[in-house]
Each structure stands twice: as C-alpha cells, then as structure tokens.
Amino acid sequence: MRLPLRATLAAVAASAALLAPTLLSPATADATPPSGISAVTLAKTEIPADLLPFIPDGLQVEVREITIAPGGTTGWHYHDGNLIGLVRQGTLTHPGADCKPVVYKTGEIINEPAGKVNTHEGTNLGTVPVILDVVYLLPLKKPLFEDAPAPPCAD
C-alpha cells in the first residue's frame, strides 16, 4: 500500500517533532535533573560577530525571571558565558564544585563565571519561592546552561 506524499511527509515531520527534544537536548549521563523550576524570558537579543570591536565573536543576551519552588533545585550545571543575577525573593543556596554552600538572600547579586570548572547548583531550602532576575551573557548559539554530574563531594 502506498501512502500519498503529503501523508508520508506529515508522518516524518511528526516523528521528527517527537524525537527532537531527545536528539537535540544536551545530555550528560550522570547529570542531576532540575525540579521545581520555572522560567520566563523577559528579553533576548544577539550582538552579531564583528559589530563591536570589543566583542569580536558576538554575544547572545537573555534576561529571565527564574522561580525555584521550596525544595526545588536547578540540578548541577554550568554556563558557557557569564551570568549576573539578583535574588528578588527568598534565599538561594548555591554550592559550587567544592560543595561549599554560598547563601544569597533577597537583594543580593549573584555573579556566575563561565566554564565547566564553575559547575554549581541552585537550591531553595526555604519555605517561599526563590525568584531570580538573571542576565545571561553567552557566546552565540550556546545553550543557557550545560547539565553536569554532581561533584564527588556532593554524595
């Protein structure tokens, strides 16, 4: 039995749409999954390569409001670019790769440097949601974060 071309193309497109998140998502075998996280993108733009001499490779800039529910976690991850954030509400527990928790309270600024060596986790150990206003400064075409396994000290 031959299917019409339109039906075949529709089936291929539907299959691709279903598989795309699995095939295109960066995955790390030992990554720790996030839980209790929601985010809204407030603004997003790109600075093209060579537009500005002091940013020769270009830059993507994204502003997000991130909410971490009580008991929620970002999971262990790192960023390919720098982040600057403000804790608008709540208390964020933020251990780095050395597992020493740094605590950020309402009104405090978070500065996260780029790179795998700066693997970290954000956790809400409090009773109210943590709300963060975050500016991502990333190389062009890089994801907002890269999943990472928990460091050995996190066991």
Q: In this predicted model, what pLDDT tens digit does every residue of 8-29 receive, in sequence order?
A: 444 434 434 443 443 344 444 5
pLDDT in tens, 86-120: 999 999 999 999 999 999 999 999 999 999 999 99
In a domain, 123, yes or no: yes
73 close to 147: Cβ distance less than 8 angstroms: no
39 close to 136: Cβ distance less than 8 angstroms: no
Structural Rg of the chain based on CA atoms: 19
In a domain, 98, yes or no: yes
- b or e along 78-103 (b: 16 or more beta carbons within 10 Å of the residue's beta carbon)? bbbbbbebebeebbbbbbbbeeeeee
Confidence of residue 153 (pLDDT cuts 50, 70, 90): very high
In a domain, 79, yes or no: yes
In a domain, 80, yes or no: yes
CA-CA distance, 62 to 41, in Å (whole number)?
7
In a domain, 11, yes or no: no
In a domain, 54, yes or no: yes
Q: How many domains does the chain have?
A: 1
CA-CA distance, 103 to 141, in Å (whole number)?
31
According to the model, what pLDDT value does residue 73 have? 98
According to the model, what pLDDT value does residue 8 have? 40
Q: What is the CATH number of the domain that holds 111?
A: 2.60.120.10
In a domain, 138, yes or no: yes
Query: Which tokens go with 2?
Result: 């031959």
In a domain, 109, yes or no: yes
CA-CA distance, 73 to 87, in Å (whole number)?
15
Give the three-class secondary structure for 135. strand
Query: What percent of the chain shows pLDDT beyond 70?
Result: 80
Residue 58, judged by CB atoms within 10 A of its CB (0-12, 13-18, 19+), counts as middle
According to the model, what pLDDT value does residue 21 have? 41
Confidence of residue 4 (pLDDT cuts 50, 70, 90): low
> Which of 3-7, 13-17, 30-34 is modeled with the greatest confidence?
30-34
Can you give the residue range of the structural domain that contains 89? 35-147
Q: How many CB atoms lie within 10 A of CB 16?
A: 10
